[in-house]
Amino acid sequence: AVASANKLVAFLKNASKVYSAVKLSDLVFVGNQYLAAHISHLNSNIKILPTLVNTESYKRDNIFRDQSKENVVLGWIGSSTTRHYIEGMANILREVYFETGKKIKVNIIGIGSFPIQDVPVKFLPWGLETEIENLSQIDIGLMPLTDDAWSWGKCGGKILQYMALSIPVVASPIGVNKNLIQDGENGFLVSTEKEWITKLGYLIHDRELRLSMGRQARKTIVEKHSILKYKSFFINEIRKVILI
């Protein structure tokens, strides 16, 4: 038997069925401007509802990580469909490991193991009950993306989780990453291997920079991506459709 959740995922990954549903809908919510433009020819009532975070659950009271520890933990969370992003970071992580005097560890959540030569890596299974605690062990979040349509259509769920937990992020300047990260204030945007290594080095060597960027990261989420902020917008848009 196929689980109902898996059936839903299979449906959502079938582009023709999604497009048909969009055509038949009175109201369509999408997560970013790229997706809105992509389906604008199918429906005239499209509203952008960005990915949101329950900031009551993701808050500083829930941070369990030990800032006094010697090693800095770099972290990534994802799934089998996004594992190629972190696999593409293997050489960069190895360079960072040696250039920082072996001061890092890497936690990878949600996928099976793969080799990163010389670097101490911990692979953790994803679980709803353990997600926040496992994310909170991370000192620096990694959000690498490739410059393609799939990446531009992504809505930044993982980067939002890092930021909501006051974790500074180093990210590719692709899609919503560019909207979320003010480079040098609440995280870093990087395009080349050299930039990845340099900016990660800044954060690894400077605890106060990690903390200050983390505070700014959470402030961004509370102000712009909190569920509470968009509650009225969501309800009002649905009411408009019902009252037509």
pLDDT at 13: 65
pLDDT at 241: 93
Q: Which residues of 142-153 are buried (b: 16+ CB within 10 A; e: fewer)?
A: bbbbeeeeebbe
pLDDT at 70: 78
pLDDT at 103: 94
Long-range contacts of 238-243 (CB under 8 A, 24+ apart): 238/27, 240/27, 241/26, 241/27, 241/45
**Mean pLDDT of the 156-184 span:** 97
**Mean pLDDT of the 123-128 span:** 96
pLDDT at 4: 52
- All domains in the chain, ordered by first residue: 4-52+226-243 (no CATH), 60-224 (3.40.50.2000)
Predicted TM-score (pTM) of the model is: 0.89
Query: pLDDT (tens digit, 9 = 90+) per residue, 180-200?
Result: 999 999 999 999 999 999 999
State the pLDDT confidence band at 8, using cuts at 50, 70 and 90: low
Distance CA 51, CA 72 (A): 28
pLDDT at 202: 98
For the chain, state the CA radius of gyration. Answer: 19
pLDDT at 59: 78
Query: pLDDT (tens digit, 9 = 90+) per residue, 213-243?
Result: 999 999 999 999 999 999 999 999 999 999 8
Q: How many CB atoms are located within 10 Å of the residue 99 CB?
A: 15
State the pLDDT confidence band at 2, using cuts at 50, 70 and 90: very low
Task: Say if residue 15's pLDDT is above 90.
Answer: no
Residue with the larger pLDDT of the pair 196 and 2:
196
Task: Say if residue 12's pLDDT is above 90.
Answer: no
State the pLDDT confidence band at 108, using cuts at 50, 70 and 90: very high
State the pLDDT confidence band at 1, using cuts at 50, 70 and 90: very low
Task: Say if residue 33's pLDDT is above 60.
Answer: yes
- H helix count then E strand count, the chain: 12, 8
Residue with the larger pLDDT of the pair 212 and 244:
212
Task: Say if residue 95's pLDDT is above 90.
Answer: yes
- Average model confidence (pLDDT) for the chain? 92
Q: Which residue has the tokens 């954060």?
A: 203
Q: Dihedrals φ, ψ of 135, to 5°?
A: -65, -35
pLDDT at 14: 77
Task: Say if residue 10's pLDDT is above 90.
Answer: no
